Structures are given as structure tokens and as C-alpha cells.
Amino acid sequence: MKRYIIPILLGTIIFNGCRKDDNWPTAEERLNNGAKELFRKTVSEAVNAVEFCEAFQDYLDAPGDDKILDKYKDIRKTVSKVGDNAYEVSGYGGLYGKFSTNGLSMKAKEGIMVMDINKGSLTVTCVEKDEWEIRSRNGNSIFDFDEGINYFATYRKAASDKHKADITIKGKLTSRSGDTNGYSAEFVSDGIIEYFGGNAYSGIFRMTTFDNKGSRLDDYSLRL
């Protein structure tokens, strides 16, 4: 009897090992899960960039060269002048970003955020006072996606005590060829982030995923 036990056990192990796991996510599920996570990270990074730009604008509007922004103590941002029309901003993880100004209107021309977003950086451009464009530099995306993500966001400060940030995020995610049967996830998310004071932001963002034929797959929403 013993001589049959080992072959039976081996056969069972081999069969179970080769059998398709019904719980393994399909290509479509992996795409949607990845899109959802990337969407969450994108919105989060956009909010951080808006907050960062606001701190920098406050610095430009205030007298003096080197200072710690007491208003932002809890996020520990320090702005320092490091050269002619050149500034650096430090945060939790060290250097947060570098900015240059034109020295006349004292507007931020361009800055590169050191924060990682899908192994890329954020490019922040000050279009005019209190208005910025935020774009991700070319970087690889997460999970099963190629080509990375490019998004555009604008921030405008309302003429009131309570500031509002109107952020529009656009992006397209395409999976690796041959892995998801042509599925893609696209999103255009419009939301409003309201500033209630002290660095508290809130907002609702929405994303919709579609297949390669344009049919709607899933809707996601994110509340900050």
C-alpha cells in the first residue's frame, strides 16, 4: 500500500500546481486595479504639488531671502535662496524642489519637483501669479502599464478667505501588448480641492475606465 501513496501524492501536487487558479485576476482586472491605484497616486501628487506651489508663492510675496514658513510648520517646508534668482525648497525627504525666478515680477518660472511619481518627476510652471501648470515628466507607470502617465493640472486661488483649487487631471493608461487583450484605461477627472486652513484639503475626483472598443468598464471615485 505504501508504494502507492507517494505516486498519488505527487500526482495530486502536480495536478494542483498546473491547474489554473480561479482567483488569479484577469488581464482586465489587473488593468483596472492598476488604473485605480495610479489614479489615487496621481491625485495625491497633484494635491502635494499645489500645496507646494502655494508655499513657494507665499515665500515670494514675503520680504527676506531665507526663512522657515511658520504657516507650514506641520509639513516642514523650508525655502532658501541659493543663488541669483535661484531657490530650493526642503521637505520631509530632503530636497523638495528647485525654483528660479525672473527677479522682476518675482514669479516662479519653472520648478522640477523631486517627488517620485511612477519613477518620474513633476514639472511645475507658474503661468501667472497664483496660477500654476503641473505636469509629470516622462516616467514609467506602475503595475502592467507602459508609457507612464502625463497629466495636466491647474491651480487658481479664489479671491476670498477660503481658497479653491480647480484641478483637471487627464491621462491614458495602456497595458503591455499581448497582456490585456487591448484593454486600456482612460480618465479625465475634474474636481475641486477646497482649502479650509492649516493645510487641510478635501475634494472628490472621478475616473472611468473603458475597453479598446470604447465601452465603459468601471467608475471610480476618490475623496480626499
C-alpha cell at 101: 525666478
Tell me what pLDDT residue 206 has. Answer: 52
Burial tier of 60 (Cβ tally within 10 Å: 0-12, 13-18, 19+): middle
Tell me what pLDDT residue 46 has. Answer: 52
Give the pLDDT means over successive 10-residue stretches in the chain (224 positions).
Answer: 47 42 56 56 54 55 47 46 59 46 30 32 42 40 27 36 44 43 44 38 50 60 49
Q: What are phi and psi of 96, to 5 degrees?
A: -95, -40
Tell me what pLDDT residue 89 has. Answer: 53
In angstroms, the CA 43 to CA 33 distance is 16
Tell me what pLDDT residue 42 has. Answer: 54
Domain boundaries defined on the chain:
26-223
Tell me what pLDDT residue 35 has. Answer: 54
Tell me what pLDDT residue 62 has. Answer: 54
